[in-house]
Amino acid sequence: MLSDRRARILEVVVREYVDSATPVGSGTIVRKYGLKASPATIRSEMVRLEEEGYLTQPHTSAGRIPSDMGYRHYVESLMEEEELPDEFKRTIRHQFYQVGPALDAWAQLAAAILARSVENLALVTAPHSVRARLHRLELVKAGDVLALLVVVLQEGHLREETLALDRSRSQEELTQTAQRLSSLFTGLSAADVQQQIVELSPFEDEVTRAVVRVLETEDASSYEPAYLDGLRNVLSQPEFSQPQTMLEFLDVLDEHSLPRLIPFHWAVPGRVTTIIGAENPQDAMRQCSLVVARYGRTGGVTGALGVLGPTRLPYRRATSMVRYMGSLLGELVNLYYS
């Protein structure tokens, strides 16, 4: 446990370093924050914090900066979330209600608002069923022995797959098959469809297996794609000023792998989860911190959102914004998709 004075010093160092990106010295702490101790006493306490792993000193003559452990203690024990003004929240709410029940538009708008508010990179996935469920399917003749399978999911997404037919079939026959299978499987997940005991013709069985493939693929990509906004924000941070560091981060984005690197599955609905530096499971992310949350209905339609930046992330603002945006998106999901 930290003494009250060392806890206060750690809090000041985190807040000052987040704002300035400059190592914090004892003189700055005394001058700006009025701690009732001499610079020599503050220096001594900062040495103790460094020895205990909460601070690090990048250069011998420099001040100190928080370590991952220091940020973790700050987030869990010292930080008070920023209070968002009511007018600010009303403005955001109005923007979403103007959009209406448009899932992808929600995610895109949420990413833009988060990126602008936190001045780092924001990622938001559209609401998605934990298990993709069929709303209806259609079969469209696409050639003599080709048909286009259109799978409409319950949350409104369309997925398509081209089927090679065993023989030429009329559009009327394809439509009848689609209508029968839709009536049998509407509202079911891939596992549910496979468990149904229904007598099917060979062609119906082939189409059913294709539908299951589509649903399983959707399940496997439940947090992709994510809408990204604010890349310029994060690349303008001093931590990314070195060309090699910037290129490595851009490589992650170019591979479209960033959503897969974000451990959204760690987030618990209704809670905000903070992942700091080396706590990230992926090497490519260990110079970064994340504030993430899931929203929606447990076991139903759900999505995820988060803010990504260097470990010098404005945690107070990020936590407040992610919490509020998650709550608002969850409210919209319950309103339109309950």
Tell me what pLDDT residue 54 has.
97
Q: What are the φ and ψ backbone dihedral angles of 313, each rounded to 5 degrees?
A: -90, 145
What is the CATH number that goes with domain 86-129+223-337?
Answer: 3.30.450.40
Tell me what pLDDT residue 255 has.
53
**CATH architecture assigned to 134-220:** 2-Layer Sandwich (3.30)
Contacts of 91 (CB under 8 A, 6+ apart): none
Tell me what pLDDT residue 1 has.
79
Q: What is the CA radius of gyration of the chain?
A: 26
DSSP 129-160: ESS--EEEEEEEEEETTEEEEEEEETTS-EEE
Tell me what pLDDT residue 256 has.
55
Distance CA 10, CA 74 (A): 7
Distance CA 145, CA 15 (A): 66
Contact 111, 329 (CB under 8 A): no
User: What is the pTM assigned to this prediction?
Assistant: 0.74
Distance CA 72, CA 306 (A): 17
Task: State the number of CA atoms in the 13 A half-sphere of 286 facing the CB.
Answer: 6
In the chain, at which residue ranges do the beta strands (DSSP E only) sit?
A: 55-56, 65-66, 121-125, 128-129, 134-143, 146-153, 158-164, 226-229, 273-276, 288-296, 301-310
Residue 160's alpha-carbon distances to 48, 96, 139, 314, in angstroms, are: 61, 29, 10, 42
Q: What are the φ and ψ backbone dihedral angles of 286, each rounded to 5 degrees?
A: -80, 0
Say which CATH topology domain 4-78 has: Arc Repressor Mutant, subunit A (1.10.10)
Below-50 pLDDT ranges, the chain: none
Give residue limits of the domains in the chain.
4-78, 86-129+223-337, 134-220
In 3D space, the residue among 318, 337, 336 whose CA is nearest the CA of residue 116 turns out to be 318
Measured on CA atoms in the order 46, 49, 54, 56, is the torsion positive or negative?
A: positive
- Contacts of the segment 256-262: beta carbons below 8 A, 24+ positions apart: 256/225, 258/123, 258/226, 258/228, 259/123, 259/125, 259/223, 259/224, 259/225, 259/226, 260/224, 261/285, 262/123, 262/223, 262/226, 262/290, 262/292, 262/304, 262/306, 262/308
Tell me what pLDDT residue 299 has.
60
The token duo for 221 is: 């990509």
Match 């003599």 to its residue by tokens. Answer: 144
Tell me what pLDDT residue 120 has.
95
Contact 316, 82 (CB under 8 A): yes
